[in-house]
Structure 1
């Protein structure tokens, strides 16, 4: 699953992409990144953080351009998301929406990563 990491005010966040088969949609997940296990940290080109448990998930339908993307909140506790991180996440979601719509127009639904 492809992911991107970003640091903000000493905290690490991750955006991860995967296909959510039950929803027939691409899922774009926002999580607080967790430290990489020690053995992995020694691997060449290994990241020092990995995506954690998602607390925001945007579902981007790729088979019907008339369906609206949605955002689900998964958090049993109150969570503060810095504006810069929320903006970064929503930019990732907007890019995924655009890729899905272009793929649909080209007759390739489900082919977007």
Structure 2
């Protein structure tokens, strides 16, 4: 899996969600624009770097989570959840890398290695 079976397209699968919004319906787009998720470590349409590849199950990467940032959250968002699913993982059903929740609404990024011990 050197080079990563987890393509940057999986970032699109990473659902950075506005949680605990006061509205029960789909949150509106903020006045600042479309809610976006980006990474300085993963380019759109590219693959993750060896540094982000898992170190186990035959993979020999650095096992460091990528830096992530988001902007223009829906108005009224009180917290965020981040889910990272790798549909390419050789498990038959993909691999859930992260499930984070209750990220305060005041937070708009996670540095590289944020989830690492």
TM-score for the superposition, normalised by structure 1:
0.25
Q: Which has the higher helix share?
A: 1
Q: Which has the higher strand share?
A: 1
